[in-house]
Every structure is written in structure tokens, then in C-alpha cells.
Amino acid sequence: MLIGWFSFFREILIWGRDIAVIFFSAALLDITVYLIFNKFPRIHNTIKKIFLLISACMFLADLFAIYYYQLPFNSEMLNVALMTNFREGSEFIQIYLSDLHFWLFFIAIGFILMLFMKIFRLILSNKILACFLLIICVSTGGWAAVREFRIGGGVHKIKSSIAPFRIASMLNDIHQSLQKTNEVMSRIPEVKITKNKSSIPYVIFVLGESTTRNHMSIYGYNLITSPNLAKCQNEGRLYVFNDVVSPHALTILSLQKIFTFYRYGSAGEWFTYANLFSILKEAGYYTMWLSNQEMSIGGIVTKFYSGLCEQRKFIEDFKDNITIAVTTDEAILPLLDKSLEIEHAKNFYLIHLIGTHFHYYKRYPKSFEKFYTQDEDKTGGLINMSVRQKILRAQYDNAILYNDFILGEIIKRFEDKNAIIIYISDHGEEIFDTMNLLGHNDGVLSPNVIEIPFIIWLSEKFAASYPELEARIASSVHKPYMTDDMIHTVLDIMQIETHGYDPAKSIINASFDITRPRIYSGHIYDKEKGLIAIQ
């Protein structure tokens, strides 16, 4: 109950601030239009009506998107709308017109707006109340706008508050994205395979999100958050690498390096380096990208990689899955089951989870709400944490527990196959463990934001088929590693070599360079000492 009230009041404050800025921005726009066209009343009124119509359409679009997708109308949705043909558009509309909740939602919104307008007119009919309302709105809006300018986002906030400017901004974003996409796709390097002894029927790469290993019980966390993985480990089929870090605490920057030969210190653009998906396709693998993240997450990087795969499915794709809102990772399992119905000689799956990304309480169903604030006293977080901090940590641990369940479900689907499953997270998360901070970015100097899980699970058939490879994996779990060299390890496992491949960058190879410094945000990472500033 406390969690719900806290979230509710926080959202109310955010909405109040944004509404104040919108009111102030709209007033400024109206004054500007009046000063320019006051001598031409018809032009002034026409422009006001056009702006009002555009604003009303944007308002309805925002309501629709927030109700179905839990976020306002954005560039990605507009891009989908522009790319949709008449038949797809009519099917899209028919789906929602037949949804009772759709009609109830907009009837409720209409009733609230009518009530608000009546109250507003009643206030305006009283000069004292009208003046009081005007003073409150102008002062609040002015204060909010000044505050936005002070923190550096004022111009953007005001522009995004005015519907015509917002649409223009979204169209500009789409144009720039298309230009960048065309540039990236036109510069895909040629793949030249020098060795291909690949024979593994199923290679599954599970990419997690915002998961630090320090909240997983298989890495020593005090709460039991990894029971399924622990069971696999006890059975001798799971190998847990205990000294692995991400090069970045941001998804886009991490993904640029994980699946290409582009690494820390490399020159040029990431997309000019050979990538894993092009290499595997050339080596005869059927590649699949299954994601529970909306396509725009990860930006052009995600679009680029998924576009190279022969099959791609997004749970949160606004075009292909228009009736689905924010979902837990369990939604990925039916897609995986369907993909497994069609067997190929050699299969590579990339499964992209939403994992433990903020907001944590949205990442698991109620049945996984196991940990509570009282559990935080034994997990080594900050001393004297507030109730809010304890709640957020409990939510994060619940999300970790659910993530363990999802990994267990994925493993079950390959137990009877000759398969290897690799799991890492794109980066970690600081959750009041070492500092009074929640979240991640490259400016956060906490080991938690880069200390990530890296595990490899082998089926019994795989272990029987590749005993030498299993031995190499087992002997490498304590080596220090950074995932900007992950492509080398994957190719080494699959016995594929190409220009750019280096065995010294594969953690399971006898030639692995164990002395390489792991640099993050101007600091060298050491497992025992943490982050040490480069002098």
C-alpha cells in the first residue's frame, strides 16, 4: 500500500510541474500570435483554431499511448503511423474500436474534461476567482519554466509542451534516425571467415538488462534470489564467471561493443567493425532476435543488429504487436516456443529481456513479491536507509528473483537438445548499495553499475558432445573479463574464426590475455580494490 501511495503522489507532482510548464508555454505562444496578428483578427483566430486542433489531437494521442503503452506518444509511434499503409491502419483501428476498455477509457476522459470545463467556466465567471487562478497558473508556470532553464532543459521542455513544435521535433528525430540508419546499413563491413568448424545445433545468447551480479544469490547475495540457477549449478551444468564487468553503464554503448570487434580504445565508428550476426549468418546459422523491449530501446544499435537477423520479434513492437502493453519477460516464452517448432541445422537465438530495468515493480507479477523492506537489513545496503529506499531495494530483489525464474524457463526448453546458453546483462545497477543513488550511467563511479553476471549453461547432450570445450569453460570462471570482447568468446565457443577474431580476447582460450586493464569512465576496475582513477 505504501509503495502505491508513494508512486501516486510522485506522479501527481510530476504531472503538476509539467501542466504548469504547458500552461505557461501555451500562454506565451498565444501572446506571440496575438502580437503578430492582432491587426488581422481572422488570421489570429484561424491560427488559434489550427493550434487548438493540433493540440487536441496530440492530447488524445498521448492519452491513447499512455493507456495502452504506459508512455506518451513519441517519435517511434509517429514513425510507425507514417509507415503504416491503409489496410494496416484500418486493422489497427478495428482492433481498438472493438475493445470495450478503449471506449470506457475515453468516455471517462470525456466526462472528466466536461466536468473540468464547467468548473473552469464557473471560476471565470467570478472575477476574483479568475484573477486568483490566473496568478496561481502564471506564477506556478513561470516558476516551473525557470526551474527547467536552470537545470538545462528549459528550451526543450517548453518546445515539447507546444504540440506543433513537438510534432516538428518528432519528425526531425525520425529524419535524423533514417539518415543514421542508412549510413549504418550502407557501411556494413564484408565478412571473411577463415575457419568454420561450427556444429552446435543450438546457441542461445540471453541479454539481460540493468542486472548487477551483487544482488544474485549465486554470487553471494544474502537473500535467495537465484534458486533456479543455483539448482542448475548444483547439477553441474551451470558455470558462473565471477569477475566480469561491462565497459559501460548504458545500454547503447554496451551493445555497440558486445556484438562487434569494436572495443575500448578502438578508432572509428562501431558499425564499421564486423558484427556477430553477419558472421554467424555467413557461417550457416539461422539467426533469431526475440525481444521484450520496444524496438526504439537501444536506438539504432538494436535496429541494426535485429535487422541483420533472419527472424526478429519484438513483444513491445507497436506495429506487429499493437494490442500488447508493457509486459513481463514471461511474454517472450511463447515466441521462443513458436520459433522452436521450426528446426534448422544450426540455430542462434538472441533473447533480449527487460530484466530488472526501472521501474522495478513492473518487472514481475504479484506472485513474485517475496521480499519486503524488513529483508533489507541483512543485504548490506546503506546504513539508515529511508523507507522509500528499502522499498525500491525490495522491488529490485523481487525483479532479480523473477529474472531467475525466466532464465530457468528458457533453460527448460533446451534440456533435451544439444544446446549452450550464455547469459550476461548489458550493465549493472546502483541501488543504494555503496552510495545514495539509484540507477546507472557512465558518470556513476560505483562498481555495481558495471559488475554483471556472466553464466554459461550446458545441456547434457552438449557436455557429451564437446567435453574439451566444457573443460575450457570450467577452468575459466575466475578470470577477469570485460564484455567488450564478448564476440571473441562466442566465436571461440562456436569454432568460427574471421578477420578481427583474436584468441587472446576470448576468456575460455588458453591464449587469453589476463593482464588487460579494464577501464570504465576514466578508472581501472579491480575486483578487490574497485575503481581506481587513472593518473
Looking at residue 228, its pLDDT comes to: 98
Looking at residue 315, its pLDDT comes to: 81
Q: How confident is the model at residue 28 (pLDDT cuts 50, 70, 90)?
A: low
Measured distance CA(361)–CA(378) in Å, rounded: 21
Letter for the amino acid at 498?
A: T
Q: Indicate if the pLDDT at residue 465 is higher than 70.
A: yes
Measured distance CA(433)–CA(400) in Å, rounded: 15
Measured distance CA(65)–CA(378) in Å, rounded: 41
Half-sphere exposure of 419 (CA within 13 A, CB side): 20
Give the pLDDT confidence of 436-455 residue by residue, as tens digits.
889 898 989 999 999 999 99
Going by the DSSP 8-state scheme, the letter that residue 311 receives in this structure is E
Measured distance CA(252)–CA(256) in Å, rounded: 6
Pair 304, 185: CB distance under 8 Å: yes
- In DSSP notation, 459-505 reads -HHHHHH-HHHHHHHHTTTTS-EEGGGHHHHHHHHHTEEETT--GGG
Q: Indicate if the pLDDT at residue 320 is higher than 70.
A: no
**Cell numbers of 110, please?**
470525456
3-class DSSP assignment, residue 525: strand
End-to-end CA distance of the chain: 49
More reliable by pLDDT, 504 or 79: 504
Q: Indicate if the pLDDT at residue 382 is higher than 80.
A: yes
Letter for the amino acid at 490?
A: V
Give the pLDDT confidence of 33-50 residue by residue, as tens digits.
666 766 777 877 787 778
**Cell numbers of 443, please?**
558518470
Give the pLDDT confidence of 110-146 residue by residue, as tens digits.
787 788 778 777 776 787 877 777 677 666 656 655 6
Looking at residue 149, its pLDDT comes to: 55
Of 3-12, 154-163, 282-291, 457-466, the poorest mean pLDDT is in 3-12
How much of the chain, in percent, has pLDDT values that exceed 90? 52
Q: How confident is the model at residue 169 (pLDDT cuts 50, 70, 90)?
A: confident
Question: Which pairs with CB-CB distance under 8 Å and at least 24 residues apart come from 330-335?
Answer: 330/365, 330/406, 330/409, 331/292, 332/290, 332/291, 332/292, 332/406, 333/406, 333/409, 333/410, 333/413, 335/290
Looking at residue 178, its pLDDT comes to: 72
Measured distance CA(278)–CA(54) in Å, rounded: 44
Looking at residue 20, its pLDDT comes to: 55
- In DSSP notation, 147-207 reads HHHHTT-HHHHHHHHSHHHHHHHHHHHHHHHHHHHHHHHHTPPPP-EEEE----SEEEEEE
Nearest to 7 by CA among 286, 250, 400, 359: 359
Cis status, amide bond into 359, omega within 30 of 0: yes
Average pLDDT, integer, range 87-94: 52
Of 25-29, 221-225, 378-382, 492-496, the poorest mean pLDDT is in 25-29
Residue 293: phi and psi, rounded to 5, are -120, 140
Q: What is the pTM of this model?
A: 0.75
Measured distance CA(210)–CA(427) in Å, rounded: 5
What is the overall mean pLDDT for the chain? Answer: 83
3-class DSSP assignment, residue 508: coil
